Structures are given as structure tokens and as C-alpha cells.
Amino acid sequence: MSSKTRVSALKGINTRKPLALALCLMSWSIAPAAQADDAVLPTVTVTASPPGALAPTSGYAARTSQAANKTDTPLAEIDQSVSVITRQQIEDQSPRTLSQALNYTPGVYSASIGSSTRYDYIVLRGFNGHVNLNEWLDGLRLLGDAEGNNAPQIDPWAVERIDVVRGPDSVFYGQSSPGGLVALTGKRPLDTPLHQVEVGFDSDRQRWLGLDLTGPLADRPDLSYRLLAKGLSGGTQQTFASTERYLLAPSLAWRIDSRNRLLLQAYLQNDPATGYHGSVPYAGSATAYNGRTLPVSFDDGSPSDGMRRQQQLFGYQFEHDIDDNWQLRQNLRYQKSRTHSQQVYQTGWNGGLLQRAAVNSQENGDGYAVDNQLSGRFTTGMLQHTLLAGLDAYRMTNDGYNQYGTASSIDPFAPSYADEHIVFGAPGYFRHRVDQTGLYLNDTLALRQWRLNLGARRDHAEILNRDPIGGSQAQWNGDKVTRRAGLSYVADSGLTPYVSYSEGFDPSASYYKDSSGDILAPQQSKQKEAGVKFQPRNSQTLLSAALYDLRQENVAYFNAATNAYVPVGVVRSRGLELEAKTRVDKRLSLMASLTVNTMRIVEGANQGNTPFASPSRLASVWADYAFASGLGVGAGARYIGPQWVDSANTLRLPSVTLIDLSLRYDLGRLDGSLKGASARLSANNLFNRAYVASCYDSQTYCYDGNHRTLSALFGYQW
């Protein structure tokens, strides 16, 4: 993989009709409530804290989720493998990025690009979703360009919880990775005042300041607000790369009346520096080169390298209760982003020197996503129904240019970055547009303790890649119907066995071209899953096990040498996932997970082999103990199994085990005047194990894993 960002495609279609329908639905839903209020002003008990899956989480084990099927459902009753990373887990493990927050989640490999923190690359069940193909925020897709650098990244400070839904879920979300999706839930306004500030620094010279304020607004019981702010700057693992970020995220919740609720949201982020995004060759990292190994701090780029990113998200979530059983919802978000990047990157050995190339790019993107939902509960005979019907759409456009060039070679063991002779060629301009419109329907039927889920969706998508100067273009459009079904039995004991079938549709490959310049066929996936969950009532324990057989057709992988995609054929992923989260008592909490994943190319080139960057085994365990003295200790171990470095299966990376540690202390125990103050120390990769996290071929593009990172944080709540 080249240092130029590879992003998986987003898709869509005609946006005007869905927007018009969305506005009509909203205006229709408000009008009846206004007429009722003219006659009677009901007494309303106001709370800005939403119930269920949107409420603030507590501990490590959540009880409900609405990510898998867009309805608030107990985790034990979802006929699909779902994990939740709570706010408590995020705080205890102190991840720098959201992908690092998934380190202890089964079925997830979050280090496919090693120590790079510029984007969130998340591999689910062995399938690499690249950037933003598998991330949603507050129910709506995060929009990123499949063939560029313009993709947003959400800061962990702004996130309340992360739901990981494994397996294709196109019925509810349209185009998505076959391995699943990552659903982020942002922090929302609360009806109880909460004020928090934290300041921290780490061993990479990063320092940050975060602010979180929420509560009722101006003594109005129907209004509540939340204001998030963060500033961060400092170094990275590599020599020259740096990070800098400024975040502001205000939100306002308005209880309009007894039947209408509105949440206004904004997310403004400026990243003047986005860190390292280069690579190292296989020889010199995974193995020695001429008897020597490169340090993990080696930077193959230039002191002039860097990427600036600005992103703005504006949206709302509106709910209207038609009556006690039926509800209308509309979520809408507008997104605007801009990037400018210059990067020098290595392209392999030439004698004792590393050859290097360069790329300069600028991109401007904007788009929107909207989801209209009608949900209700009703009974037919002995069957109880929970029905969800929806119409969603999104559009993403991105304009920009790329300039490719050359740079002088470098001796990585005695690097000199003077006189680099960086020369760029003529710019190549592009205009990318992706549209999707989807109509979906799902019915959950309940008969005593049995649950049957039946769902279907029809998508229409269009993808356009155009040269605005030369006039050439590549275009694809088409329709696809996807289905899902699941059956489960909810026992009184808390034990729930289930079976399910789901399909996925991903025409992002239609954005890509092979070495002949032809557009690739859309990817399609099918999965069968069987599992069991155990979540006793009134407990903070959730145990789950899942067996799956996932098959994807028309798979293609990026070839950095040709800057094109290579059709692979059909890839099958079979595996077992085990997860346990429990609170043993009021002081001890435990988490453990195991993933056994066997991937095979069953049709096409390299048939019978395993795709690269797909560890066959993953395991983790984390324990946290809160002492009565105010001291808390958390410790964990992560095992990453062996993986191939190319689809030809010529070379293999060894396994590695990493240890993490976290210490915290309630400073209020020392002195009453410090009530609300706390301190936290954490260490990721405590013993500083040097390892290669992944490779994308057997020669050139490998990625060093994170070295030991020590951090200290001081917080205060009032």
C-alpha cells in the first residue's frame, strides 16, 4: 500500500426527492402537536437524558443497543454479534484514536496501518473497511472519498459509546463492509449539570486540554445543552511527524412539547497536523536488512511533509410521537471537509538506499446524509410486531488534484534529509461523486419467548469519477436488493440462542479501476451466523459466542506498485468469536475476548491462500480493580496472531503479545478541598515490544506497531 491514502468508496443516488420527502415528513409531524397544544397544555416531565442505548453508559457492560437494527433492543435479544465499548472503558484505556479503542473487541483488528493515527482503519472479521467505509456517527454515515485523502476522523473525547456490529448489515445501512460496521454515539446534552476539564501529556510530547460542560440551559426545563472542546498538539512515534487538533462540538436538546423532541448538533474540528502515514520495507523491519533493523522511530518522509484537515458537521435529530405506539424520526447531517497534503514516501530498496516518491494533493468535499424512520408496535393474533420502515439517502462530492513526483533516495540507517530534490509533475484534477438512496423494512415478530426478524432493502447507487479538465469519466449505477432473517429464543434464565442470515452490498469497487482502466464489479456478501448470549436480569454480565460463515464476491485489493486494484475473486471468512464482560462485585470488573478467523480465497487468483493483513487469532483480557482507598488499577494483555504479508502467502509475520496498564486515583481522598479531582497514569505496550503490525506486500509496504506510550492525565469534575 502506498503512503497515499486508500479509502473505500461511498455510494448513493438522486438526493432531491429524499430531501423533499424528509422535509414533508418533519413538517407533517409537528403540525398535529401544535393543534393539540392550542386546546390543552399538558403537564410534561422533562428529561434531556435519553433512555436506553442513547443514555450515558456505566461500567463495561451495556444492556441495550440500537446500532444493529436501528431500534433500542436488549443486546441479548439481537440475533447478531454486537459489542459495546462504553465511556468507562474508553477512559480507563486512554486510546488516542477510536480504532485504538477497539483493541479489546473480538472480531476486530485495529492496527492494520500500525502506529499511524491519521485515519481509523478497522478490519472486521478479516475484511479491511479502509477509511469510513464502516463508520457511522449518531446513525448516519461518515462521508469520505474512496480515492482520496478527504475523510473525517472523530475524536474519542466527543464519543459516549462505540457499538461494533459484526457481519453485513446492508438492510439497515445500505453499502457497508461485509465484516460489519462501527457505530459511534456522540455525547448528548444531559438534564443534570456536569462540568469536566482534563489536562494530559504523554511520552511522545503530546499535550492536550479537554472541556465538557452540560446541563439545563438558562433555567429552562425544556432545554439542555452540551459543549465539548479540546486542544491537542505534540509529536508522534516517528521523527518528523506531529499532531495538532482543535475541536468544538456544541449541541442543544429541546423538548418542544409532549410529542416532539429536537436535538441540534455541530462538530467543528481543525487538524493543522495529522501525524505520520508512511511505511517501512519488509526487509529492515520484519527481518533484518544487511544485518540491521530500522528503529520504530524511523521516518521515511520529509521534514516538509504533513496533512492539514478541516471538517465541519452540522445536523439534527428529530422525533415525533404519533401516539403511544408509533413514532416518526428524522436524522440529517451536512458535512464539509477540506484537506491539503504533501508526502514523501519510500518505495523499496535500491542497493543500500531506500527509493522514494512524492505526492501533493488538495481536496474539497461536501455532502449530506439523511435517514427517515417510521416505527411502531402492534399485535396480530398471538404475534406482537415491532415494525421499522425507513428511507435514507446520502451524497458525497469531492473535488481536487494530485501531483505525483520524485524525491532523492535515503540511507535509513544514517538518514540525511537535506537536498531532497522533491519534484512534482503536472497536477491531475478529479471530481468524485457518490449517491445512494435506500428503502428498507424490518419486522420483529414476538411469540412468547420466540423472536423472528425479517428485513429487506432496495438500494439505488451512482458513482462518478470525472476529470473536469480532460473530460474523461468513469461511471457506474445500479440497484440491489438485500435481505436478512434471524430467529432467537429468549429464555427466562437470560440465555438466548440464535441463528441469522444477512446480505451485504458494496459497489465501492466500482470506484476502483484495474490495471487496464476498467471499473470493477460491485462486491456482494452473504453471511450465516449462529450464536448464544447470556445476560441475566439486573446484572452487569454479558457472555456471548458466535460462529459465522461469511462469503464475499468480487473482492479486489490495492496494488501499490501499479497504483491500481487487482481483482481477487471470492473470499470466505469462517470463525469463532467469544466475549465476556462482567462486574464480579462493586470493585472488580473483567473483560475477555477470543477470535479465531480462517480466511481463504476460494475463487480467483491465489485460490486456497489467505489474504494479507488478516491475523488468524486475536485474544485479549482486561481486569480493573477499584480499591477502597480511591486507587484503581487496570491491566490487560492483547495477543495478535500470525498473519501473511501478501496474498501469495510467501512470508508471514509472527505473533505478538502486548501488555497495557492503567492507574487512577481519586485526589479527593487526600484532601476534601480536592473533591472531584483525579489523576490517571497509563502505559500502552508497557514492555515496549517492537513488532510489525501488518504488511501489504512481501517487499515494500509494512507498518510498525505502536511503541510504548506513557501518559498522565489530571481531571476535575464539578
CA-atom Rg of the chain in angstroms = 25
Q: Which three cell numbers stand for residue 557?
A: 485489493
Residue 449 burial (CB count, 10 A):
11
Q: For residue 420, is it within any domain?
A: no
- Structural domain tally of the chain? 1
Beta bridge partners of 214: 194, 226
Helices (DSSP H) in 184-302: which residue ranges? none
pLDDT at 145: 87
pLDDT number for residue 557: 72
Q: In the prediction, which pLDDT does 44 show?
A: 36
> Hey, which residues does 233 pair with through a beta bridge?
207, 244
pLDDT of residue 508: 67
Residue whose cell numbers read 432545554: 223
Averages of pLDDT over runs of 10 residues in the chain (718 residues) are 36 38 38 38 40 85 93 93 96 94 96 92 83 84 88 96 96 91 96 96 96 94 97 94 97 97 98 95 95 95 95 98 97 97 95 95 97 97 97 96 96 91 94 94 97 97 89 87 97 96 81 62 92 91 97 79 72 97 93 97 91 93 96 97 93 97 95 94 97 90 96 96
At 712 the pLDDT is 97
Exposure on the CB side of residue 547, measured as CA atoms within 13 A: 5
Q: Which three cell numbers stand for residue 521?
A: 464489479
> Within a domain: residue 441?
yes
Contacts of residue 75, Cβ cutoff 8 Å, sequence gap at least 6: 62, 63, 64, 65, 82, 84, 533, 535, 542
pTM: 0.91
Identify the pLDDT of residue 523. Answer: 85
Query: Could you give the dihedral angle defined by the CA atoms of residues 83, 89, 94 and 95, in that order, rounded to the nearest 10 degrees?
Result: 10
Residue 48 maps to a domain? yes
Looking at residue 522, its pLDDT comes to: 81
The answer to the question of residue 209 being in a domain is: no
User: What CATH number does residue 385 fall under?
Assistant: 2.40.170.20
* Cβ atoms within 10 Å of 590's Cβ, excluding its own: 17
pLDDT at site 470: 87
Answer whether residue 552 is part of any domain: yes
Q: Which amino acid is at 74?
A: P
pLDDT at 465: 87
Domain that holds residue 579: 16-196+219-224+369-400+430-717
